[in-house]
Amino acid sequence: MKNKFRILYFVLASLAFTSCEDAIDITQPSELSPEDTYENVADLELGLIGVYGAVPGESDIYFTSLFTDEASIGANNGGQGTGGDLAFLLNNNTGDPATIWVSYYSLINAANRLIVGADFVEVEAGSDDEADKNDILAQAHALRAYGHLKLMSYFCPDMADDSALGVIAIDFVPESTAQLPRATAGEVWALVLSDLDFATANITPIGQPAGGLNYINQYTLLAMRARIAAFREQYAQAKEYVDQLDAIPQFILPASAAYLGMFLDTNSINSEAIWQLERIPAAGTTTGNFYQYWASVNNTVSGSPFFEVGRDLFNQYLPGDVRRFLVVDESAIVAPNYSELSYSDYLVQDVLPVGKYKLTEGANLNGDLQLFRFSEMVLIRAEYYASVNDYANVAAQVNLVRTARATTTLAAPTTSEGAWGMVLDERRREFAFEGHRYIDIKRLGVKAGKSVSRDPQDCSFNNACTLPNTDYRWTMPIPFEESVANPGIVQNPGYSN
């Protein structure tokens, strides 16, 4: 098939309903263009739901957990990950970069098609339809911004350098044969911020829309801006956005029960989640979105775990820390003398199943994804204080999170490296199995003097215990398939096409 390797652009046909995939350069009689797809605001609303359905997340979590120091080999591992992510194998032929590249460009493509199609939907000025259309467009622009943000976090070598290699910035629906270059980081950020400006000006100005936490609102936009500013090391600006969120009464660090409820669906209202992806199992199924990621049956010791919580990560939680009860399933077998066991005994006598995405809504290993939480904002503010060597306030912000999680507070650091290390360590505990760790080490590891920290038992089988924080693998490669279809694209340092 012509251009069969064009993984970035294969998604362009996803809404076209073509009758013959071998003739992608021929307009098919049944093909639906954006202008034909959307005829009224109701169509746009359905299209927006489809764009939200394209927001990924599970693959990010799986890759990050295995490649860093969150997950380890489970008691029933059959070889999964042992020669790949757990061995720090990352090149342009490995599957993780391709999966992430395609998934976020699929999201961008879906958003672009909705934005283009909306141009053909006429509404009366000042009408409710006009307000609804503007709100839909605002969310589509924000979703496009999110897609570019995620791609930048994985594929841009230096997010704080506007002259660095960025990703392919796409604010249109390209032809299937297009071969587009990488933009600079500054050019990508300009598009992202332009999309957020549009969204801010047009999104419904209320706290939570009808879709609740599952849809983007003004608060989500502030959180996204704060993360972007932190990634660009514009810490003073990041703090300003965090302070705006902090002034909103609904955003606090809740008590333990409400914190657990974010991940276990045991409460309908919580005061920390800013934007989440609700995962509901298909009708008639009893397995969820993390089925076959961590285990073949469920998240318990008897549920055949492929991967478990890394021992070094588990050791970071004090017994009273509520996060320990969430990250590790309550059925866990904890061996006090685990370090003295032989490796074969360690695998079966110290079993720590991943508990963060357990049984919810009647499905095993099914859980909502928390994309933005208020605790992230608090720790971004800690980054600001670390950037100005205000060590007392670094500790104060970190301890806000620790107090909410019912664990002990920490003394203020005394050095810049210690301050950044305090932030990075708390982010490790707070966002375990949420897809942050890889990016956190990439952007904070050198400042903190830290990197992957695997327990000797977990890496004894391959001696892959750590990865220098300056290693080129902290930026993903442009996937091989993209390079074949788009030969002019520049590869990231350290990799070959």
pLDDT, tens digit, 9 for 90 and up, residues 407-445: 999 999 999 999 999 999 999 999 999 999 999 999 999
Tokens of 373: 């939480």
23 or 163: which leads in pLDDT: 163
pLDDT at 32: 57
pLDDT confidence bin for 92, thresholds 50/70/90:
very high
Contact 433, 66 (CB under 8 A): no
Q: What is the pLDDT of residues 242-300, one digit of tens each?
A: 999 999 888 889 888 888 888 887 655 567 889 999 888 777 676 778 878 899 888 89
Q: What distance in Å separates the CA atoms of residue 159 and residue 184, rounded to the nearest whole number?
A: 10
What is each CA distance from 213 to 55, 78, 158, 273, 374, in whole angstroms?
14, 38, 31, 7, 13
Q: What is the pLDDT of residues 319-352, one digit of tens each?
A: 999 999 999 999 999 999 999 999 999 999 999 9
pLDDT higher than threshold 80 for residue 24: no
Contact 139, 220 (CB under 8 A): no
pLDDT confidence bin for 2, thresholds 50/70/90:
very low
42 or 256: which leads in pLDDT: 42
- What is the CATH topology of the domain spanning 39-203+471-496? 1.25.40
Beta bridge partners of residue 307, listed in sequence order? 73
pLDDT higher than threshold 80 for residue 17: no
- pLDDT, average across residues 76-95: 94
Contact 143, 48 (CB under 8 A): no
| Residue 475 burial (C-beta neighbours within 10 Å; 0-12, 13-18, 19+) | buried
Domain locations along the chain: 39-203+471-496, 286-349
Please report where in the chains the tokens 């008590």 appear, as a residue: 255
What is each CA distance from 451 to 97, 462, 465, 469, in whole angstroms?
20, 18, 10, 5
pLDDT at 319: 93
Tokens of 342: 């032989």
Q: What is the pLDDT of residues 114-145, one digit of tens each?
A: 999 999 999 999 999 999 999 999 999 999 99
Q: Which residues does 267 contact at the CB level (< 8 Å), separation at least 6? A: 257, 258, 261
Q: How far apart, in Å, do the first and last CA atoms of the chain sit? A: 22
Residue 24: name the closest of 172, 141, 176 by CA. 176
Beta bridge partners of residue 308, listed in sequence order? 72, 353
pLDDT at 250: 80
Task: Return the percentage of the chain with pLDDT > 70, whole number.
Answer: 89
Q: What distance in Å separates the CA atoms of residue 367 and residue 432, rounded to the nearest whole number?
A: 14
pLDDT higher than threshold 70 for residue 85: yes
Q: What share of the chain is helix, strand, coil (3-state, %, to 5)?
A: 45, 5, 45
Q: Which residues does 253 contact at the CB level (< 8 Å), separation at least 6? A: 259, 272, 374, 375, 378, 400, 401, 403, 404
pLDDT higher than threshold 90 for residue 474: yes
What is each CA distance from 326 to 60, 262, 372, 484, in whole angstroms?
19, 11, 18, 43
357 or 284: which leads in pLDDT: 357
Residue 166: name the closest of 140, 143, 144, 192 by CA. 192
pLDDT at 280: 80
Q: What distance in Å separates the CA atoms of residue 114 and residue 101, rounded to the nearest whole number?
A: 20
pLDDT higher than threshold 50 for residue 186: yes
Q: What distance in Å separates the CA atoms of residue 443 and residue 427, rounded to the nearest whole number?
A: 12
Mean predicted lDDT score pLDDT of the chain? 89
CA torsion angle for 165, 170, 171, 174 (degrees, to 10)? 150
pLDDT at 141: 98
pLDDT confidence bin for 14, thresholds 50/70/90:
very low
pLDDT at 4: 29
Q: Which residues does 495 contact at the CB level (< 8 Å), separation at least 6? A: 91, 92, 472, 477, 478
pLDDT at 208: 45
Range of weakest confidence among 51-60, 171-180, 486-495:
171-180
